[in-house]
A and B are shown apart, each in its own frame.
Chain A
Amino acid sequence: MNTISSRTTAPGMSSLRPSLSLALSLDRLGSVVAVLIGVALFACPFVIYRANRIVAGEGRMLTDALPPPGVLIVLIAALGVASCAALVRNPLIRLAAASVGLGVIFPAVGWSAGFVTPAGNTFARVSPSLGFWLLALSFALLAADALTRLRLGPWARIAAMAAAAGAVALLLVSGAWNDLSLLKEYANRQDIFWREAGQHLWLALGSMTAACLVGLPLGILAHRVRPLRTAILQVLNIVQTIPSIALFGILIAPLGYLSAHVPLAAALGIHGIGAAPAFIALFLYSLLPVVANTVTGLNQVPAAVSDAARGMGLSARQRLCQVDLPLALPVILAGIRIVLVQNLGLATVAALIGGGGFGTFVFQGIGQTAIDLVLLGAIPTVALSFVAAITLDAIVDLTRRGS
């Protein structure tokens, strides 16, 4: 075991070596991934079979989950990835192996659903089980590690993300997953799904936009007027510490009053429960990151740069737009990234007070103990957060011009 730890390299080191170091040396993360793959293949059920959507299910090991050729393909692919993970250092090869692995098991689990479901049985449900999830996790870990080591530029990262999204879309459109319980839940509430998706995005993006419109000027003000700065940041800090459910609760009373007594508010659809308090709560949570990062970003503008700008006769507005904001932009965008990822997650809770969004499926699913319905709400939320984080990270990198 000594050799394992002493031979491992820090991330990034591998790129300095000759690119094809196929020498038989073990890699720490790779070994963990290989072990995980082994456990997933031979000790965990690949899918779960349920007689109907809410009863307890029984696990099916890989050998019972697919016809023999399928079993063979999955085995070969997974073991191939495992050996790559343990033995190959080159991140490009590791990334390719992980992608092939993912490209095999995702369709395979759909195939398995069709194989396990008795012909003509419309009540039976098949879901991916621990074995599948472990395989997906280990391949994803390997891919993520390889991507980090490759140190891709912002455009390459966006392209990689787009390729992954395209592959998922292809999988869903092709119908390969139609026999899975998750997609059956989707098929049963297709219209509602897209409505809630729209509502979720509206809550998250709308409140973020509102927070930017208010937070940016507020941040600039807080930066300029020192006494205000502490006050503003302190208030926003306190807001941030209120748990979301409590904040929704706090907002229900005044909004309820407003809708009962101000006809315009009611006409605009503002009620004590529903989307309005959710929107306002998300907006309030978003303010701190936007304001705090605007202040930090503006503070980071070097004093000599501001002095030179003033000395050359840039007006206050020109200094703000041409010097201060562009230089603060990466930090401000980092704040917006926090807000977006946070809001996409928090918007789920909005469903509790009738605000809609993907949370609707999560809480319905919990109520009905239908785990696949929970996943129908949770998976898109996580995927959206991922896309938002990667996209904004790339944008932040692109705006760091000349530093």
Chain B
Amino acid sequence: MIEIEHLTKRYGATIVVEDVSLRVDEGTIAVIVGTSGAGKSTLLRMINRLVEPSAGRVLIDGQDTMAIPEDELRHRIGYVIQGYGLFPHRTVAENIATVPRLLGWDKRRIAARIEELLDLFQLEPGEFAKKFPHELSGGQQQRVGVARALAAKPGLLLMDEPFGALDPVIRSKAQDDLVAIQRRLGTTIVLVTHDMNEAFQLGDRIAVMDQARLLQYDTPAQLLTHPAEAFVEQLVGTAERPFRLLSLTRVQAALEPGAADGDPILVSESLRDALSRLIWVGRDALPVVDATGAALGRVSVRGILAHGRSIA
């Protein structure tokens, strides 16, 4: 758990981050969004003290980060940036081994960890361990960057626009993979992005920043239904709002009794995906099944629209 308390950063007379407080619960993803220059990166970098705060403090699991030696603190926090900053003179394996080596892990343990991570990120160890970063595609570099950050099993991962350099197709896959891995490892993540879709897809909570201030820190649904300021409303996009809400809700919420013809929809899918399928196949309703394939009922266009109105 991270508690950020009244964190402020000034450069001379300019205030870059102004009195920001927020809490990120264990094992959740907090996304920081905002316009360019809002102070997102600065806020993130104050967590691992790459930027020294002018005022305020950061507690990790109740411990003030100022009480931990700088380097030791960073060994415990994963850090991924746009462009990844892979060491060009070191192989993929050596890159991933960076922090474990600093921590003095023995060779066998490091080798096992490298293999485990490469497997986790779907990079065949035999093929990729000995490659240099320039021999990798952008998507592969990104995965190595995250694998390197996770090498020493940090409880907390800081990510500054980690998908910014990827094309849309690979980006969406990388986002799904990140969520899957995060759920599996239970890592707490603070992620900075420009991209509202990314924020809604990844964030358990979203922090909206503008001109050094934190305007709102809330769940995606709250952000959509109760924006604190006009700027937040504008940022989340009024036209997109119903669709974003639907994509945050599972089919379960609009489940109706009864049967329908056609390919069934999984109960764990979002209402947005269900609506999209209904429109595409040109039906008013489709059957709903659970993961084992057992029929649960049906979902209809009318039901989804009614649900969409009720949550908004």
A17 within 8 A of B: no
Other-chain contact of B71, A305, A308, A314, A327 (Cβ < 8 Å): A314
How many Å lie between the Cα of A315 and that of B103 in the bound state?
12
Please state if A311 and B84 are interface contacts (CB–CB under 8 Å): no
Please state if B134 and A313 are interface contacts (CB–CB under 8 Å): no
Chain B: interface size category: 20 to 34
- Give B75-87 as 1s and 0s: 1 = Cβ < 8 Å from A's Cβ atoms: 1000101111111
Contacts of A197 in B (CB 8 A): none
Other-chain contact of B102, A305, A307, A310, A314 (Cβ < 8 Å): A314
Other-chain contact of B88, A305, A311, A313 (Cβ < 8 Å): A305
B128 within 8 A of A: no
Chain B positions 157-207 with a Cβ under 8 Å from a chain A Cβ: 158
Chain A positions 307-326 with a Cβ under 8 Å from a chain B Cβ: 307-315, 318, 323, 326
B228 within 8 A of A: no
Other-chain contact of A327, B72, B89, B102, B132 (Cβ < 8 Å): B89
Chain A: interface size category: 20 to 34
How many Å lie between the Cα of A326 and that of B149 in the bound state?
22
Shortest C-beta distance, B307 to chain A (Å), equals: 43
A401 within 8 A of B: yes
Other-chain contact of A307, B72, B73, B81, B87 (Cβ < 8 Å): B81
Please state if A318 and B86 are interface contacts (CB–CB under 8 Å): no
Please state if B85 and A402 are interface contacts (CB–CB under 8 Å): no
B133 within 8 A of A: yes
A304 within 8 A of B: yes
Q: Known contacts being A312-B79, A313-B102, is A323 close to B71, with CB within 8 Å?
A: no
A241 within 8 A of B: no
How many Å lie between the Cα of A323 and that of B48 in the bound state?
20
A2 within 8 A of B: no
How many Å lie between the Cα of A307 and that of B71 in the bound state?
13
Shortest C-beta distance, A25 to chain B (Å), equals: 38
Please state if B99 and A312 are interface contacts (CB–CB under 8 Å): yes
Please state if B88 and A402 are interface contacts (CB–CB under 8 Å): yes
Contacts of B70 in A (CB 8 A): 313
| Residues of B participating in the A interface, judged by any CB pair closer than 8 Å | 48, 50, 70-75, 79, 81-91, 98-99, 102, 132-134, 145, 148-149, 158
New A-B pairs, 14, CB < 8 Å, besides A311-B50, A326-B89, A403-B134:
A302-B88, A305-B87, A307-B85, A308-B145, A309-B87, A311-B48, A312-B75, A312-B102, A312-B149, A314-B71, A323-B87, A402-B89, A402-B90, A402-B133
Q: Across chains A and B, which 7 residue pairs bring their CB atoms closest together, nearest first? A: A308-B85, A313-B74, A311-B79, A402-B132, A304-B85, A304-B83, A313-B75
